[in-house]
Every structure is written in structure tokens, then in C-alpha cells.
Chain A
Amino acid sequence: MGKKTNFLIMKLILCFFMLFVLSGCLGEREINDLEIVIGMGVDKDESPDNILLTAQVVKEGIAGKSSGGGGGGEDRPFWNVSSKGMTIFEAVRQMTHKTGNRLFISHNQVVIFGNDLAKEGLQKYIDFFLRAHEMRPTAFILVAEDKASAVMDAKPETEKLPAINIGKLVKTYGFTSHFYKVNMKDFASCLMSPTTAPMAPLVSVIENGEDKEIYVSGMAVFKKGKMVGKLNEDEVRGLLWVLGEVKSGVIIVPTPNEQGKAVLEIVKVKSKVTPEIKDGKIMMNIKIKEDSSLSEQTTTENLATIEAFEKIQEATAEVIKQEIMKAFDKSRELNADIFGFGEMLHKKYHKEWKNLEDNWDVIYPTIELNIDVESKIIKTDLLKKPAAPNEGKK
């Protein structure tokens, strides 16, 4: 216990306290000073070099109160601040002229790009969203059918905040599988791939008299960072069948006697894609196993028989096949590898891939698909026979 140990301990104590002072990210900010951004929209500005950034800032005083609708209906719980700039970051900082505090974007839920901007290319605008330490890589990315700022303006009915509402809409893609949620991280990893085409769901505003409704459906397809086309709802599901990302959805097929419709709900989907190169021809073997339940029928016939089931299952498989083909045809038309077939080939045939990679654009349309769908009805929900008068005992 000499002076040496004494000195050492004093040094250690000093080091301990220096940790607090010297560490980098100790930004202390009181919660009520924050400008909480929940959504951002990027549009092209009238002047050619500039972009128009719209940030949706929460007005905590109104948004936090449980009884939202007070007296004046004009009290919107959010504030769409917009600013112009050459780049996103410049625009973000320009915004402090209006907000009085720098934006707090850790809670940003969605980033919406305007249609014009998407067509021009997102490559140069996406950098900020990936680089900024406050930005979440799990924020959803969407493309507006028209202007992003218009989407941000439409006040939803049940939710208070439009951006939260859009985030919620995107997360519920599973009920129909008519679009697919894409976040910043997914988008960027597709963007970095030499072959796979990035995609983002499309969002539009439907004007219904005075009300504005937000509608998310379909996907925008990008190639080399530029938007080249759109997939409609069926095509998106065709794509998701292959990716194995169909969570649920509705399939309508004619009943065996062709009089009405049997409506099936998708319960469970498994898919497997194995690429194959044969005699220089590329073949993708797609195997899909689908379980569904009979959720609705419009006829009086009893569908709960083995014969009827087999017919419906066949018809379902055919529908699925057609959807996949539709998606594939569209991707061939756009020459964009939305399925990620390139990456699959790369994994299985690394040697051959070197030759394929450079002229992938030429090779892609020549790929052939071999689709094998196994569809199965596993339940008929609460009814066996339809609620109709019994026609004979057979």
C-alpha cells in the first residue's frame, strides 16, 4: 500500500471519469425539445437542380392527447415542413430555419419518393438515409404514384398521423400479398446486387369527394436505381409465390360445375427454386406447396367432397401458375430480374456465373420456368355444406 498503488488508483479514477467526458455520442437532449419526424417525402422541385423535402413532424401537444377531436377540426396533430435543397442533407438542415431545432429522425417510419424523382433515379438520394446515424434501416421505402408531399398531406381517419398510418398499411401486406414491404436495408442490398432489381410498394392518394384516402398497392420496379415500370397486384403475387413470401390472400376459382365461384384463402406457402443449366439453357425449377382453406362459395352444391376438392385444387394450381407467368412476362418485358434469379445462379454455378454476369440483360429474357404447384385444401372453416336446402340425399 505504498504511494505507487495510491497513484495508480487515482489514475484509474481519473480514467473512469474521463470516459464520460470523452465519449462521442453523448448528445443530451430533453425529450420536449425534439422535433420528432415520423415520415419523410422527397419530390422533385420546379427548379431542376433542387429537391423538395417534406418532413412530417409530430405536434406532441395535440397528438399525445387521448381525446383528439376537440373543437376546431383544423388542429392537425402533425406539421408537414418542407424545404428545398440540392441534396437531402442540405434540405434537412435548411429546415431548422422553420423548426427552430434540428430534426430528430430516429423515429422516421416511412420514406416516400415522388414518381418523377424515382424515374430519374434514387441512387444519389438514398445515401443520406443509409449514412445518417439517426436514421433507421428498417424505415419503409415507398414510391408515390404522383407527388410524395400529397401523400403526406392526406389525413387518415382512424390514425392521427399519416406516416404512422402508411407504415401500418405497409405492414399489413400479408392479407392480400398484393404488395410487399421493403425497408431501406432491403432496398439498398438489392441496389448493391449487380442483377437483382430493387422494388418498392406504390402509394397513391384517392380523392373521394373531399376526403383523401391513401391506397397502397402494386410495386415499382427499379433498374440501376431508376424506376422502369410497375407491377400490378396479380403480378406482385406471382413474384411473391416464387420468393415464398405470400403470407395470405384470396384465390377465386370456378366451382366444379362452373356455376359459381369458390373462394379460397391462402393459409401456408412453401416454395423452392432450384436453378439448372442444361445445354447452355437456363431453367428455373420452381416448386410451390400451397395450403388453403375454403372460405366462401357462391353456389349451393356441396364442395366438401374429394372429387370437388381435387378439381378446385387443380384450378388453384393453375391460377398460381398463371400469376407467376404474368410476373415473369412482365419482368422479361422490363428486363429486370425482380426474382433474384441471378443471385440464385451465382450461388449454385459460381464458375459459369462469370460468363453469365456480364451479359445478364441478354440472358435474362431467355430463362425458362418449370413451375410445379401442389395445392391443397386443408379445411372448410365452420361450414361443411353451404347453407342451402338439401338437394336429394346424394
Chain B
Amino acid sequence: MFGYIFKKISYLSLKNKNKDMLQDSESGENNSEPISPDLEKNLEVIKDILRDSSDVTIHEFNFGHDRKFKGALIFINSIADKEEIHKNVLQPLLYGELLLRDKVDMDFNKMDSIRKNLISTAANVKVTLLSDLLDNLLAGSAILLINGSKEALAIKPGKRESRSIEEPGTEAVVRGPREGFIENVNVNIALIRKKIKDADLCVEKFVIGDKSKTDVYIVYIKSIANPQLIEEIRRRLKRIKIDAILESGYIEQFIEDNPYSVFPTVSNSEKPDKVVAKMLEGRAAILVDGTPFVLVMPLLFIESFQSVEDYYARPFFASVIRIIRFLSYIISTLGPAIYVALTVFHQELIPTQLLISISEGRERVPFPAILEAFLMLFAFDLLREAGVRLPKPVGQTVGIVGALVLGEASVEAGLISPIMVIVVSATAIASFAVPSQTDSGTVLRYIYLILAGIAGGFGVIMGLLAALIHLASLRSFGTPYLWPIVPLNLSGLKDALIRMPLWTLSKRPEAIIWKNRDSYNQGQDMMPSPYKKDNNDSK
């Protein structure tokens, strides 16, 4: 409903913008000319483009017998690996045994012969366009230009400065791998490759961002993922025209299905084991250079209540915990709303003794219950926000002050009733149990609270119905958001609110998969059992 209004407004404003953009793109053609064979001319052009960057180094040199060939090496001091360049490019070119011989029947005006005979690193690319040359240079490569050659060689940097692999801060586990993704996308792909040693693992590269030229990779398993899904992701990624991709959240907001929904339709994770597990169910991952958060899609609502640890722990405990997570989501979104609805509108539904104690607690409270709930929720969200942004040692102080002042003193002063403190703290604790829906939960909590304040239980039910209708209509990359509950899928329910033992989960999710649904051979009964004498056919 609100989405519709938003759409209208943004549509009108986009209409005007589109006209301007069309004109812009016509004049914006640049740098797609080829590299000229004249070294001097090339250097001049490059110098001109990068004239304001003081960290560009252009090293001209002569090489070969008699030093009759001219060449130049261009790199950016700050990001290029100088040691590598020296070892792999300059040294062989200048002092290479091959070049110092008297007679060499090689034409060093051709880049191919240099590349094949002299350069001692495999990480190099031939470029013929000036724009490609610049892209590579700015990404950290060293560019080798030879007089007389129409091609340039981009030598990629070997190592890049990056953080070491650590346990992710957002997804700590009790049992399971401790490693997490880091900011370097190559390391991240390596972490996935380490887990899936299969030729079907595909890594497709995209470069997005006019200025940032960020590497974005779609990673999926070809034999499992639906090609239509991959095609759709490609299509959505290609549509993105933006200056810079600084975090995978940028990508998420450009490719999600319903931008006006409070519910996320793309999930993110910092844990390789989680991402791989989802890829094995037919999902695709998007890795973005510069962030440890990997996007995974499609996302089902039920995934919010699942954790990787569910599959590492035995099924009974995992199922109980899942149900608790589900209940905690209900508490975290509806807790304050139900409290307000009951105490303001439906006092007859509260057991008599409880009603008397609630009434006793509220005796001195000067505010209506709805305002009281708002104040407490506001205070809680304030505390959380303050605690997150502050440096760690100071953050703890915020917690103590918050607990003492808000919990203790406000009750003592009679500003807030003790039951409200209990309700809001239960809500707060519950909201942390389902981390991936915390955002949507926080928004919904306020909406339901307002509805409860206006119309009591009736309002809450109306809000719930609206949310349910919305959820049922939501799709994530073609997958119904509420699957396997709506539409109902019995084999999907085996791994929904409860988790059945792993040996019963032989099918991959139907909604995501289009082929190869069996995750292992069906003929085999995987149920573990001790050896039986009469059961000889297992040979």
C-alpha cells in the first residue's frame, strides 16, 4: 500500500531524470581508442590523463642487445607490488640471459614474444585499448609498453594487503568452522573453492561501478543451480549503473525483488560454510570485493530461523532451538503490541491475579500504556544504537547506564511500570535470537504497537493479516518467500520448523532446484544402524 505511493512518487521523479541521462550517455564516450605503436605518444596521453596523480611512476628504459629497444613501465606506487615488478619484469628484461646474447632472432617489438620468453609471472594480460590499459593500471597492475607494439602488457600485482582470516563477528558459532570471509575477494573465492572441489563450481566475474570498478563475482554450482536463476542474477547485475560499490549492501538494494518490503529477499553471510551449504541447495552467491559480506539468493522466510549449527548439532536439539527461535520472533515483533492491547482494551483476557499485579505496578505511572511502551522501546533502540557505534570500552558503560537508569531508576521513580520493563526486555532479548530478521522485526514492532494503541487486538490482527498477505505475495528471485509453508511442500517441511535427521533430507529444496533434486543416491538407505548378520545385501 505504502509501496504503491512510493512507486508513484519515484516514478514521476525518474521520468525527468531519464531524459537527462540519455543526453549524458551520448557525450560520455571516452578513451576507447587503441594503443598506438608510438611509445612517446602513448606516454604523453597517459601522462595527460593522470597528470594530477603524484603517485604514478613512469619508468622508461632501454633493453636488449645494445639496448636498442625502448620500453616503459607504468605503475601506481601506492597499490602496485614493486618487488614483484622488479623481480618478474624489469630484471628479466634488463639482465635476462637471452637478451644479452649477441644474436637473438627475436623481434622484441612484438609483445607476444616478450610475454612468452621474458616475463616470469603468469598473472599478466594483453591489452589493446587505452581504456583497458587505464583500468588495469588503476586496479594495481604494472603496464609494460614497448615501442613499436600496438599491445601493452598488464602485469597483475601478486599480493594485496589484507586482513587475515578471523572468526566473523556477526555470526559466532559454538560448533562449526571458525573462519570467515574477509575483504579480499580472491581469498573469499579460495575459501569457497577449498570446500567444493568440483569442476561444476562456476565463478563469473562482473565489474560494477563507473568509478570504483569493483569486482563482483557470481558463484554457483552449475549442475545444481537453476540456469534461469543465474540468468536473472546476471540481468539484474548488468542493470546496475552506479559510481561505486562500496559494500555488498549496494548490490542487494539494486537486485532485490521488492524494494518496498520490510522483509529482506537477499540474505548475507560472513561464513563460508553457510554460503556453501546454501549453494549446495541451488542458491547462488554474489561476492563483492572489499567486503566480507557475501550475498546469497534466493532467500526464504524460513531461512531466518535456521542456523548452520542446526545441521552440526543432532536433530532433537536443533528442532527445539528452531521452534524457540520462531517463538522469539513472534515475541520480538508482537510483545509490546500485545501487552498494550491487553492492558488498554482487553483487560478481561488477563487472569485476575495478574491484572491486579499489573494494575498495582502501574499505579503511579503518569503516562498511557502506549506512550510508556514507546518510551521504553525508543530507549532500548537508542541504547542498542549507541552501544554499537561507540568504541568497545565505552559501549559497555552505555549498557550499564542504560540498565541502571532505565531499568531501575525509572521504575523507582514511577515513570515506567515494572511489567513494561519486563515486556520490553523480553522483546529485546527475543529480537537478538533471529538476527537476519532483526531489521524487519524492529520496523514491524513499531507498526504493530501503533495499531495496538489505536484499535487493540483488532488492530494487531489487521496488521498481522496485512503482513501475512504481503509475505505470501513476496518472491525472491522467483521463489515463493513463504515456501515450504505457502505453497505447502511436505518434503520441504522436513527442514523447516523442525529439522529431521540428515539421512532423511535426501532432496534438495524443490522451489529453488529445477533438476538434480537428489542430493545423494536414493537407492541407499542412509539410516545409521549397527551391523546385522541377516542383512547381507549391503555388500
Interface residues of A (CB under 8 A from B): 6, 9, 13, 16, 19-20, 23, 26-32, 34, 36, 38, 58, 60-61, 63-65, 104, 106-107, 109, 134, 136, 164
Residues of A within 8 A of B369 (CB): 30-31
B363 and A32 contacting across the interface, CB-CB below 8 Å: yes
- Provide the B348-365 mask, 1 if CB < 8 A to any CB of A, else 0: 100011011111111101
Nearest Cβ in chain A — how far from B192, in angstroms? 43
- Residues of B413-469 at the interface with A, using a CB-CB cut-off of 8 Å, are 454-456, 458-459, 462
- Provide the B330-363 mask, 1 if CB < 8 A to any CB of A, else 0: 0000000000000111011000110111111111
Nearest Cβ in chain B — how far from A309, in angstroms? 45
B362 and A31 contacting across the interface, CB-CB below 8 Å: yes
Supposing A106-B348, A109-B352 touch, asked if A31 and B358 sit within 8 A by C-beta, the answer is yes
Residues of A within 8 A of B348 (CB): 106-107, 134, 136
**CA of A104 to CA of B347, assembled, Å:** 9
Whether B4 is near chain A, meaning CB under 8 Å from some CB there, is: yes
Residues of A within 8 A of B361 (CB): 64
Starting from the known contacts A20-B459, A107-B348, 8 additional A-B residue pairs (CB-CB under 8 Å) come to A28-B345, A29-B347, A30-B369, A36-B359, A61-B363, A64-B359, A107-B347, A107-B355
A30 and B344 contacting across the interface, CB-CB below 8 Å: yes
Supposing A20-B455, A28-B344 touch, asked if A34 and B359 sit within 8 A by C-beta, the answer is yes
Whether B368 is near chain A, meaning CB under 8 Å from some CB there, is: yes
- A sample of 8 cross-chain residue pairs with beta-carbon separation below 8 angstroms, ordered by A number, consists of A26-B456, A31-B343, A31-B344, A60-B359, A60-B360, A107-B352, A136-B348, A164-B353
Residues of B within 8 A of A9 (CB): 1, 4
**CA of A134 to CA of B349, assembled, Å:** 11
A32 and B347 contacting across the interface, CB-CB below 8 Å: no
Residue of B nearest to A161 (CB): B356
Residue of B nearest to A107 (CB): B352
Closest 5 CB pairs of A and B: A64-B360, A106-B348, A60-B359, A32-B362, A60-B360
B355 and A31 contacting across the interface, CB-CB below 8 Å: yes
**CA of A31 to CA of B419, assembled, Å:** 12
B355 and A26 contacting across the interface, CB-CB below 8 Å: no
Residues of B within 8 A of A60 (CB): 356, 359-360, 363
**CA of A63 to CA of B50, assembled, Å:** 82
Residues of B within 8 A of A106 (CB): 347-348
**CA of A58 to CA of B363, assembled, Å:** 13
A58 and B356 contacting across the interface, CB-CB below 8 Å: yes
**CA of A164 to CA of B353, assembled, Å:** 9
Interface residues on B, range: 20 to 34
Residue of A nearest to B358 (CB): A31
A31 and B4 contacting across the interface, CB-CB below 8 Å: no
B362 and A36 contacting across the interface, CB-CB below 8 Å: no
Residue of B nearest to A66 (CB): B357
A34 and B347 contacting across the interface, CB-CB below 8 Å: yes
Residues of A within 8 A of B362 (CB): 30-32
Residues of B within 8 A of A38 (CB): 352
**CA of A60 to CA of B343, assembled, Å:** 15
**CA of A38 to CA of B353, assembled, Å:** 10
B345 and A63 contacting across the interface, CB-CB below 8 Å: no
**CA of A20 to CA of B355, assembled, Å:** 26
Supposing A20-B454, A26-B345 touch, asked if A31 and B359 sit within 8 A by C-beta, the answer is yes
Residues of A within 8 A of B4 (CB): 9
B455 and A23 contacting across the interface, CB-CB below 8 Å: yes
Nearest Cβ in chain B — how far from A40, in angstroms? 14
Supposing A23-B458, A26-B455 touch, asked if A61 and B355 sit within 8 A by C-beta, the answer is no
- Residues of B22-72 at the interface with A, using a CB-CB cut-off of 8 Å, are none
Nearest Cβ in chain A — how far from B300, in angstroms? 29
Residues of B within 8 A of A64 (CB): 356-357, 359-361
B343 and A36 contacting across the interface, CB-CB below 8 Å: no
A63 and B368 contacting across the interface, CB-CB below 8 Å: no
Supposing A9-B1, A29-B347, A30-B369 touch, asked if A19 and B356 sit within 8 A by C-beta, the answer is no
B1 and A32 contacting across the interface, CB-CB below 8 Å: no
Residues of B within 8 A of A27 (CB): 345
Q: Which of B344, B353, B363, B459 contacts A29 (CB 8 A)?
A: B344
Residues of B within 8 A of A31 (CB): 343-344, 347, 355, 358-359, 362, 369
Residues of A within 8 A of B8 (CB): 6
Residue of B nearest to A160 (CB): B356
**CA of A36 to CA of B462, assembled, Å:** 29
Residues of A within 8 A of B343 (CB): 30-31
- Chain B CB within 10 A, most for which of A9, A20, A34: A20
**CA of A247 to CA of B170, assembled, Å:** 58
B455 and A32 contacting across the interface, CB-CB below 8 Å: no
Nearest Cβ in chain B — how far from A254, in angstroms? 46
Nearest Cβ in chain B — how far from A10, in angstroms? 10
Residue of B nearest to A58 (CB): B356
Residues of B within 8 A of A32 (CB): 359, 362-363, 365
B347 and A63 contacting across the interface, CB-CB below 8 Å: no
Residue of A nearest to B351 (CB): A107
Residue of A nearest to B364 (CB): A32
Residues of A within 8 A of B356 (CB): 36, 58, 60, 63-64
Residue of A nearest to B372 (CB): A30
Residues of B within 8 A of A136 (CB): 348
Residue of A nearest to B4 (CB): A9
Supposing A106-B347, A107-B352 touch, asked if A30 and B368 sit within 8 A by C-beta, the answer is yes
- Chain A CB within 10 A, most for which of B348, B353, B360, B369: B360
Nearest Cβ in chain B — how far from A164, in angstroms? 7
Residues of A within 8 A of B454 (CB): 20
- Residues of B472-487 at the interface with A, using a CB-CB cut-off of 8 Å, are none
Residue of B nearest to A12 (CB): B1
Residues of B within 8 A of A26 (CB): 345, 455-456, 458
Residues of B within 8 A of A16 (CB): 462
Nearest Cβ in chain A — how far from B357, in angstroms? 5
Residues of A within 8 A of B344 (CB): 28-31
**CA of A106 to CA of B345, assembled, Å:** 12
Residues of B within 8 A of A20 (CB): 454-455, 458-459
Residue of B nearest to A32 (CB): B362
Nearest Cβ in chain B — how far from A219, in angstroms? 26
Nearest Cβ in chain A — how far from B463, in angstroms? 11
Residues of A within 8 A of B347 (CB): 29, 31, 34, 104, 106-107
